[in-house]
Amino acid sequence: MATVVNEGRGTQYGDLLLDEECLFAMRDGTKVHFTRNERAILLTLSGSPNRLLTRSRLLDEVTEDEDRSDRYIDFLVNRLRSKLGDDRKSPTFIHTRYGEGYVWVATPTPAQVVDAVLAVTTQFRSDGRSVSRDASTLIPRLHEAIGAGMAPEKAIFVGEDWHPGTEDKVRHLLHLNLQADQDAASCLVTLREMPSRRIVASFPLDLDPGDASNVAADAEKISGSALAALRRALRDASTALGLTPGGPTDDHRQEASIVLLGANPRWAGGTDLASERARDPRNPDLAFQWCFHLFSRLTIASPFESVGLGERRRIEREIEATVLEFLPAAEDNPLHMFAAAKLLYFLDRGHLGLAEDLAERALARTGDPTGSFALMGQLRCARGRFDEAVRFFDQGIARDHGRDFQLHIRAMKCVALLAAGRRAALDIALAQVDLSPPVPSHIALMMRWTFLPHDRPLPAASANALADIGPTGAANAIEYSWFTSARQIVHSEARANVVRGLIAHAVGIHGEQAVPDVVARAIGLSAAV
């Protein structure tokens, strides 16, 4: 069963919810109501916490036609204690100052932060006749049916007047408006994306108003339709960047995880994409796919062959201009927002804050971080929040998205640990990276050269391979590592940590000519060796 959150507005005191108007209190689903004078005393006491209120002061709140004695106040307070479940000898709510009066000593419980994919609120309207008797049966069955269709931690049930707090993270709000009279019954289902409250689905369902035996069937009908709408919304949120609509949502998330690495083979050639863009230049999906094609030209090519700084600048400026042009359109699709965040992060042109904002808001809209673990880890790493980065990478590693994904995200984790200077943890992480074929030899070599400590000699085979590529190839490898993995990190020492080992090994074989000027200027040669 999913979680039930405070229904209505009020103040929580442990397991007791006190209505803001002190009309009632609720504990474990049981509601107790207060009389007019009890409510008056309760409002006065709770409105002045930790202050002594004399009996004469409390008498001012009691209606004039009642007993005006101190004993009557004591009687009301004892009634309140009974209804609140308060212990007179060890009070949680009302403390007695003998001979003086009473003090409200209860401390409100901080509101629990809500983190859920779905919040469900149910509203029931009827003519007050036969159908209203079924409301108490239908709504719990409805909650049970929805809870059974989702993981318990992903759905909550809230009151009609519930509003998310500033710290709450609710991705979708499902409003079920049940309408009934003697002749007809229906349920208007409205699914909103949060926090924007944008309506993503809305439809009516006809119910049977007279047959109580159909309560279970009605609950299944409503929950099935509502959950189908939610799944469509989640699937649509992960349909873009060439991913075809349809198919299970989990498959889409897995594909999105791989696509956001920039590792779609379709993008490498780019001929078809160029033709499609020429036919439809205002299509945001094609625009972001084209950006990933350009991105792949900078990242998938051999690290031993430079694209040239001039060509790199041209490509990066085209990526930047295209992403910024289509950024308003990206707001319509979380996957486009993730793509924009990934590309802006990679460029390292002062857009890290914007990239973080896009990724965080896209994550809030999708309701599932599966497709974004790698990106969120990279963004945390860029800020120097290495422990958080590693946690994101570990969550991604725990997903079985195939060998290529595992290699990429494990390499990202190693970069974060290298930047942080956590050698022992890095050695453990490296031992879990599979660099055997079919991993391309240049990737295996780059990882070995990069992650071996700068003051430890390379194994003979690895040293021979570094010698074979010559000083130009070594300089290109350092330049590649700098632009793809190091420059995005804000802190200078952490940036230097990422390339220090590779530079030291290259200089040991080829001399300082192996260090490209762009890297030497960025971190200083002395910091690198």
Q: What is the DSSP string of 134-168?
A: HHHHHHHHHHHHHHHTS-GGGEEEE-TT----TT-
pLDDT band at 160 (very low <50, low <70, confident <90, very high): low
Indicate the pTM of the whole model. 0.67
Question: For residue 124, which phi and psi values (nearest 5 degrees)?
Answer: -125, 125
Residue 199: count of CB within 10 angstroms of its CB: 12
Which token pair is 361? 């808001």
- Calpha distance 259→254 (Å, rounded): 9
Helical H segments across 399-516, by residue range: 403-420, 423-431, 441-451, 460-468, 470-481, 492-510
- The answer to whether 363 and 395 have CB atoms below 8 angstroms apart is no
- Calpha distance 49→94 (Å, rounded): 10
- The answer to whether 292 and 338 have CB atoms below 8 angstroms apart is no
pLDDT band at 189 (very low <50, low <70, confident <90, very high): confident
pLDDT band at 323 (very low <50, low <70, confident <90, very high): very high
pLDDT at 31 over 70: yes
pLDDT at 526 over 70: no
**448 closest CA partner among 412, 411, 485:** 411
> SS3 for 36?
helix
User: Residue 130: what pLDDT?
Assistant: 45
What average pLDDT does range 515-527 have in this prediction? 83
DSSP label of 401: -
Cα distances (Å, whole numbers) of residue 198 to 162, 194, 365: 17, 7, 11
Higher-scoring residue by pLDDT: 443, 4:
443
The pLDDT tens digits of the residues spanning 441-465 come to 999 999 999 999 988 999 999 999 9
CATH 3.30.160.180 in the chain: give the residue spans. Answer: 115-236
**Phi-psi category of residue 99: left, alpha or beta, with phi > 0 → left and psi -120 to 50 → alpha:** left
- The answer to whether 496 and 527 have CB atoms below 8 angstroms apart is yes
- The answer to whether 131 and 87 have CB atoms below 8 angstroms apart is no
Q: How far is CA 272 from the centre of its chain?
A: 34
- The answer to whether 174 and 190 have CB atoms below 8 angstroms apart is yes
| Pairing, β 10-13 against β 16-19 | antiparallel
- The answer to whether 357 and 369 have CB atoms below 8 angstroms apart is no
- Calpha distance 296→269 (Å, rounded): 9
- Calpha distance 231→252 (Å, rounded): 11
Question: For residue 368, which phi and psi values (nearest 5 degrees)?
Answer: -145, 120
- Calpha distance 262→256 (Å, rounded): 10
What share of residues in the chain are helix, strand, coil (percent, to 5)? 55, 15, 30
Lay out the sheet containing 115-126: strands in order across.
Answer: 3-4, 155-158, 115-126, 169-180, 185-193, 198-207
pLDDT at 512 over 70: yes
Residue 301: count of CB within 10 angstroms of its CB: 15
pLDDT at 244 over 80: no
The domain 3-104: what is its CATH number? 1.10.10.10
Question: For residue 228, which phi and psi values (nearest 5 degrees)?
Answer: -65, -40
Strand partners, 156: 3, 119
Amino acid at 529: V
Which token pair is 399? 């997903």
The pLDDT tens digits of the residues spanning 249-286 come to 555 556 666 666 665 566 677 778 888 899 999 999 99
The residue count for the chain: 529
Kindly report which listed range (109-123, 297-311, 509-523) carries the lowest average pLDDT score.
109-123
- The answer to whether 495 and 486 have CB atoms below 8 angstroms apart is yes
- Calpha distance 138→217 (Å, rounded): 10
Which token pair is 284? 């945001």
pLDDT band at 420 (very low <50, low <70, confident <90, very high): very high
User: Residue 129: what pLDDT?
Assistant: 46
For the chain, what percent of residues have pLDDT higher than 70?
Answer: 82
What average pLDDT does range 296-311 have in this prediction? 91
Higher-scoring residue by pLDDT: 118, 427:
427
Mean pLDDT of the chain: 83
The domain 115-236: what is its CATH number? 3.30.160.180
- The answer to whether 503 and 528 have CB atoms below 8 angstroms apart is yes
Helical H segments across 53-131, by residue range: 55-59, 70-84
Which positions ≥6 away from 340 have C-beta within 8 Å? 288, 323, 326, 327, 330, 355, 358
CATH 1.10.10.10 in the chain: give the residue spans. Answer: 3-104
The pLDDT tens digits of the residues spanning 124-136 come to 665 554 444 455 5
pLDDT at 223 over 70: yes
pLDDT at 417 over 60: yes
Give per-residue burial for 211-222: e unless 16+ CB within 10 Å, then b.
eeebbeebbbbb
pLDDT at 69 over 60: yes
User: Residue 258: what pLDDT?
Assistant: 67
pLDDT band at 489 (very low <50, low <70, confident <90, very high): very high
- Calpha distance 256→239 (Å, rounded): 8
pLDDT at 23 over 50: yes
